[in-house]
């Protein structure tokens, strides 16, 4: 099992407890590019240009640096759509 698959499985099994760095690494592994604003990361992928839901992840505030489950699930959905296209 590759590192990418292990990280994906780990995030799928526990989407409540995901660090921002891990989610960014996973999205980068699936060739998503992102634009960082003051309060969020906006992810883009060439194959998902026509998708209406662009994955967006709010930057967590506070010391824990954990991403909310809602944002993690949106990113996982985008990865599943991408995998179904390939």
Domain that holds residue 42: 3-85
pLDDT at 8: 93
Burial of 71 (0-12, 13-18, 19+ CB in 10 A): buried
Tens-digit pLDDT profile for residues 15-55: 998 999 999 999 999 999 999 998 899 999 888 887 777 78
Whole-model pTM?
0.87
How many structural domains compose the chain?
1
pLDDT at 58: 86
CA distance 44 to 54: 7
């Amino acid at each position: 099992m590759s590192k990418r698959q292990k990280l994906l499985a780990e995030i799928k099994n526990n989407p409540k407890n995901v660090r921002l760095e891990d989610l960014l690494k996973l999205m980068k592994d699936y060739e998503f590019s992102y634009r960082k604003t003051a309060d969020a990361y906006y992810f883009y992928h060439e194959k998902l240009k026509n998708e209406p839901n662009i994955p967006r992840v709010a930057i967590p505030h506070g010391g824990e640096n954990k991403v909310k489950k809602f944002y993690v699930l949106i990113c996982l959905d985008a990865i599943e759509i991408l995998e179904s296209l390939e």
